[in-house]
Structure 1
Amino acid sequence: MCESDETKEKENDVYPPNYVEKEIELPSDEFEDNSKVPKLSYLRIFLLNLWFGFNAWGGPVAQIALIKDVLVIKEKWITIPRFNRVFGVYQILPGPEATELCMFFGCLSGGRFGGFLGGLGFVLPGFVLILIFSYLYVLVGLTNDRFNASFRALQPIVAAMVLRAVHKIADHALISHTTHRFSYWLFGMAILAAIQSALRFNYFITLGVCGIAFMFIERKIYWLGLIVIALEIIGYGIYIGINKDIPSLSALGVGVAKADSGSGPDPGHTFALGLVAGSLSFGGAYTTIPFLKAEAVTIGQWMTVTTFLDSIAIGNIIPSPLVMFSTFIGFQAGYLWGGHSIGYGFLGGTLIAIGILFPCFVFTILGHNILEKLVRNHFLAAFFDGISGTVVGIIAVTAMDLLQSSISSPTGLVNIPPQQLAAIEAKNSSLAAVLYVLTLAVLYGFKKPNLSLWLVIFGAVAGQFLFLNDQ
C-alpha cells in the first residue's frame, strides 16, 4: 500500500462507523481492490464468523466495530474508505447490517457460498441460545413467581431501550444520501408517520407513500411529492366519511399472522410473518418491532404485549443480532399452534428466523456491485431514504405504546386477593416508571460497551427485590 493510502486510512479511522458516503470521491480502484483478501476454506470462513457470533454482544454498533477492527484495521482485507462505503449500502437496505457485513466478507473470501456460511456462522449462536431461552420461558416462566418478578422489572427497561433506539436510528435515517446532511423533509415525514400511526394508517401505505413522495422531493419536484401525500390524506378522509370512524387497530398491519382463537398461526403464516418483517427491517431490528407487534399482539392476539416486551429483553441478553428476538415470537406461535407442543415451538422459531433473514441473505449474495447500483440510483436511493425516515416516526409511536404497557403490566399479578390487588398494582406501576426513567438516564448518560446487556442483568436482579409479591 502506498503512503498516501495509509494516510487516508489514518484520517478516516477517527470517524464513527456510520460516517460513510462522504468517501465516494476517492479513486474507484480503492473500492474494488481485493488483492489483500485471503482465500479461506469454507470451514475457516464459517468458524471465523461463528467466533464473531459468539462475541456479538452489545448490539449492532459493537458488532460492526468488532468486524471492522479485526478484518479491516488489523487484517487489512479492504481499506477503511471501502468499508465505509460498503456499510453505507447496507444501512439503506433491509436487514441487520452486522450480518450483512459478515456475508460480504465471506463472499470476498469464498464466493457466494462463502457469504452464505459467513452469515450462517454469525447468526447461529444467537439463534440457538434464543431457542433455549424460549423453551425455558414456556417451561417455567408462566407460573414461577421469581421468573415473573425479573421480567416485570425488565419490561420498563426494554421500553426505554426502544425509545432510545428511536434517537439512534434518527441519527442516520434523517440524513439525505444526496446532500449528506440532516433533511427537514425526512424529519417532517417522520412526524407525519407518527401522526398517521396514531390514527391507525396501515404501515405499508405510510411507508410506500412517503417513499414515493421523497423520490420527487429529492429531485426538487416538491409539488408532486406533496400531491402524493395529499392524495393519501384525502383517501383516509374518504374512508372515515364512509365508515364514520377511524380504522380499527387491525388496520395497522396486514393480518399475515392472524390465528384462530386460543391458537397461534400455522407454520406457513409464521414463515410469512418473518419474511415480511425481514423485508421491512430498514435500519436494523428495531424497525421490525412495530410490524411484529401489530401482527402478533394487535391483530393475531395470540401474544400479549408484556410477553412481546419479554422477547426483546431476551434478545438483549444473548450475543446475537437483535432481530433474532423474532425467533422467540415464532417459538410462541408454533407452541400455541401445536397445542403447547415444544416441537412445534422449535419449528415456529426456526421458520420465522429463516423468513426474517431471507431478504438480507438474498440481497447480499446477489453481489455488492449490484447493490451499489441500486442504492446509487437517485430515485431508488431517495425511495429508501423516505422509508427509513418514515420508520423513525412509526417506531416512536410504538415506543410510547410499549411504555404504557410496561408501566401497567399485569405480569406476576396472579392469585392476589382483590383487597390487595389495587395497592400492589399502584406500587408496581410506580416502580416501573422509576426504572424507565433511570434506564433512559443511563442510556443517555453513558456510552459503554455492552450497556444494554448490563441493564438487562441489573433488571433481572432488581426484579427479585422490587416485584416479588408476598402473598
Structure 2
Amino acid sequence: MTTTEPAARDRAAPPPVTLAGSVPVWARIAALSFGGPAGQIAVMHRVLVEEKRWISENRFLHALNFCTLLPGPEAQQLATYVGWLMHGTRGGLLAGGLFVLPGLLAIMALSWIYVLYGEAGPVAGLFFGLKAAVLAIVLEAVQRIGRRALRGPAMTGLAAAAFAALFFLDVPFPVVVVAAGIVGFLGGRAGHPAFRPGGGHAAAAGNGSYLFGDDAGPRERASWRSMLLTLAVWAAVWLAPVAALLLVLGPDDVFSRIAVFFSKMAMVTFGGAYAALAYVAQAAVEQYGWMKPGEMLDGLGMAETTPGPLIMVTQFVGFLAAYRAPGALSPLAAGTLGGLLTTWVTFAPCFLWIFVGAPFVERLRGNAALAGALSAITAAVVGVILNLAVWFSLHTLFREVRPLAFGPLRLDVPVPASLDPWALVLALAAIVAVFRFRAGMIPVLGACAAAGVGLRLAGAI
C-alpha cells in the first residue's frame, strides 16, 4: 500500500490555481532567476512541471521552442506564455512582468552606484574582476549551446558561417540570423534529415496529472479578429512612446535614439540574450559611442549577478547613454529615464509576440518547417556567441585594439604590448574553475570580484 499510494497521488491532477494564487509562485521563480536563460528555464521547469505540475513536459517544450524562435529573452517569454496558457492575458502580464521586476530594480540601483562610485578603488576593482568571470561564462555558453545544437556537419557549418560572417566580414547580425532561419525553414520543409528536431520527446507519463496536459487547450482561442485587436493594442503600448519622443524631441535626441535603437533590437535579436548582446555591444560601442567596450562587460557582470533576464543589461546601456547626454535634466534623472525607456521598448514587444502568436502556435506542434528554422537559428547562434566571446576577450585582455580592413575583411586586432597580465590571470583562473572544476556561476563571479577588489586595494591594477 505504501508503494502504490504515492503513485496514485502523482497521477491525480493538482487543484485549480487562481490568478491570485499563482502570484507567490511567479514571484518565487522571479527571485530565483539567476544564471542566464539556461538556469532560468531550469528553474521554471522544476517548479512548473515537476513541483506544481501546472503544465506537462511536452507542453513546456512546445512553448520553449516557440519562445526560442522569437526575438528577445526566451526565458521571460516562456514565463509569459505559461502565464497566458493558464490565466489568459492577465496571467501572461503577471508572470512576464514579475519575471522582469527584480532585475529592473537591481540594475537601476547598480547603475547609480556605477556612475557615482565606479572610479573608486573597491568598485573599480569589483568590475575588473567581474569582466574576467563574464568571459569564462560566455565561453561556457558557447560550449553548452554548441553541444545541444551542433548535431552534424550541416549545423556545424551554419555556426562556422555565422561566426565568419560576423567576425571577418562585418555582416549585420540580423542578416545572419534571418538567413539561417530561411535555410532551416526550407530544409525542414523539404524533409532534409539535418534539419529535423534532435530526437523526439515521448508523451509525458501521467498526462492527466497536470493542469495543462498534452490535450488541454488554452483559455484563449485563436481567431483573426482577436489577433488583430491584440496586435493593435500592444503595438500602441510599445510604439506610442517612441512616436511621441520622435515628434517632441526629434530623431537626434538621445532618448529618441534609445527608443528607436532598442525597438529595432527587439525585432531582430533572435537566439537569446548572448546573441542580442553581440548586436547591442557592436552598436552601443562602435556606432553610437554610448559606452566603452569594458563598460559593456561591466553591465553584463551586473546582469549575471542579479535575478532576471540577462538582456536587462540593455537598461544599463540606456542609462549610460542618457546620463552622458542629459540635456536639460540632471544626469541621474536622465540616466534613470533612459534606463526605464530602454526596458519598456525591450520588453513590451515580448508581450506582443506571445499574446499575438501563442494562440496560433498552439495549433502548430510538430511543424517540420518551424522545427527546421529553430534548429538552424540555434546553430547560427553558436557562431554569434563565439563572436561575442572573441570580442569580449580582445577588449578584456588587451588595453588597445585596432581595426584592420583588407578587401572585404574587417576585424579587430589586439596590440600585443597592451596585454593586461592581471586580466589574463583572472580570466584563465575563471576558465579553469568553470571548465575543469565545474564551479557554479555565482561562486566564480564572487571569487573574481573579490580578487579584483583585492588587486585594486593592493595597487596592482
Contact 2:121–2:456 under 8 Å retained in 1: no
Cα separation, partners in 2 of 1:206 and 1:72, compared to 1, 3 Å: closer
**1:86 matched to 2:63:** yes
Shift of residue 308, structure 1, vs aligned partner? 0.4
- Selected match of 2:76 from 99, 113, 132: 99
The equivalent of 2:187 in structure 1 is 217
Shift of residue 379, structure 1, vs aligned partner? 3.2
Cα separation, partners in 2 of 1:169 and 1:274, compared to 1, 3 Å: farther
The equivalent of 2:390 in structure 1 is 400
Q: Mean Cα displacement is larger for which, 147-156 or 276-285?
A: 276-285
Shift of residue 373, structure 1, vs aligned partner? 4.3
Select the structure with the greater relative contact order (CA < 8 A; seq sep ≥ 6).
Answer: 2
**1:435 matched to 2:460:** no
The equivalent of 2:29 in structure 1 is 52
Contact 1:287–1:395 under 8 Å retained in 2: yes
**1:318 matched to 2:306:** yes
The equivalent of 1:276 in structure 2 is 264
Instruction: Tell me how far apart the structure 1 counterparts of residues 283 and 15 of structure 2 sit (CA, whole Å).
Output: 43
**1:117 matched to 2:105:** no
Contact 2:72–2:276 under 8 Å retained in 1: no
Shift of residue 166, structure 1, vs aligned partner? 1.5
Cα separation, partners in 2 of 1:470 and 1:111, compared to 1, 3 Å: closer
Structure 1 runs of 4+ with >6 Å offset = 425-428
Contact 1:100–1:361 under 8 Å retained in 2: yes
Deviation by residue 1:268-310 (Cα, 9 ceiling, x = unmatched) = 3212332333334433211111100111011112210000000
The 3-state SS of whatever aligns with 2:334 is helix
Q: Mean Cα displacement is larger for which, 128-137 or 379-388?
A: 379-388
The equivalent of 2:174 in structure 1 is 204
The 3-state SS of whatever aligns with 1:301 is coil
Contact 1:428–1:467 under 8 Å retained in 2: no
- Selected match of 2:445 from 443, 446, 456: 456
Contact 1:363–1:371 under 8 Å retained in 2: no
Contact 2:62–2:365 under 8 Å retained in 1: no
Instruction: Tell me how far apart the structure 2 counterparts of residues 146 and 426 of structure 1 sit (CA, whole Å).
Output: 27
Deviation by residue 1:91-124 (Cα, 9 ceiling, x = unmatched) = 3333333322322332233211121111101210
The equivalent of 1:152 in structure 2 is 128
- RMSD over aligned CA atoms reads 3.2
Contact 2:398–2:418 under 8 Å retained in 1: no
Contact 1:50–1:125 under 8 Å retained in 2: no
Write the mapping of 1:33-432 to structure 2, written as runs, cut at 5 A: 36=14, 38-42=16-20, 44-141=21-118, 143-174=119-150, 182-197=151-166, 198-220=168-190, 266-339=254-327, 341-366=331-356, 368-373=358-363, 376-409=366-399, 429-432=420-423
Counterpart amino acid of residue 156 in structure 2: F
Counterpart amino acid of residue 382 in structure 2: V
Contact 2:430–2:448 under 8 Å retained in 1: no
The number of aligned residues is 381
Instruction: Tell me how far apart the structure 2 counterparts of residues 445 and 265 of structure 1 sit (CA, whole Å).
Output: 48
Deviation by residue 1:130-188 (Cα, 9 ceiling, x = unmatched) = 111011101110x31222122122222212211221222223343xxxxxxx1421210
Give the TM-score, by structure 1 length: 0.72
Cα separation, partners in 2 of 1:87 and 1:134, compared to 1, 3 Å: same
Shift of residue 400, structure 1, vs aligned partner? 0.8
Instruction: Tell me how far apart the structure 2 counterparts of residues 37 and 347 of structure 1 sit (CA, whole Å).
Output: 43
Shift of residue 265, structure 1, vs aligned partner? 6.1
Instruction: Tell me how far apart the structure 2 counterparts of residues 374 and 357 of structure 1 sit (CA, whole Å).
Output: 25
Cα separation, partners in 2 of 1:349 and 1:80, compared to 1, 3 Å: same
Contact 2:177–2:380 under 8 Å retained in 1: yes
Counterpart amino acid of residue 461 in structure 1: A
**1:445 matched to 2:445:** no
The 3-state SS of whatever aligns with 2:55 is coil
Instruction: Tell me how far apart the structure 1 counterparts of residues 366 and 339 of structure 2 sit (CA, whole Å).
Output: 36
Instruction: Tell me how far apart the structure 1 counterparts of residues 287 and 15 of structure 2 sit (CA, whole Å).
Output: 48
The 3-state SS of whatever aligns with 2:299 is helix
Cα separation, partners in 2 of 1:221 and 1:199, compared to 1, 3 Å: farther
Contact 2:269–2:279 under 8 Å retained in 1: no
Deviation by residue 1:361-419 (Cα, 9 ceiling, x = unmatched) = 22222363422446744334433433332222122122112101101248xxxxxxxxx
The gaps in structure 1 that reach 5 residues or longer are 11-29, 175-181, 226-263, 411-424
Deviation by residue 1:416-463 (Cα, 9 ceiling, x = unmatched) = xxxxxxxxx979811211211221222223446xx2222222122101
Instruction: Tell me how far apart the structure 2 counterparts of residues 380 and 70 of structure 1 sit (CA, whole Å).
Output: 28
Instruction: Tell me how far apart the structure 1 counterparts of residues 47 and 281 of structure 2 sit (CA, whole Å).
Output: 36
Shift of residue 63, structure 1, vs aligned partner? 2.4
Cα separation, partners in 2 of 1:366 and 1:427, compared to 1, 3 Å: closer
Contact 2:174–2:269 under 8 Å retained in 1: no
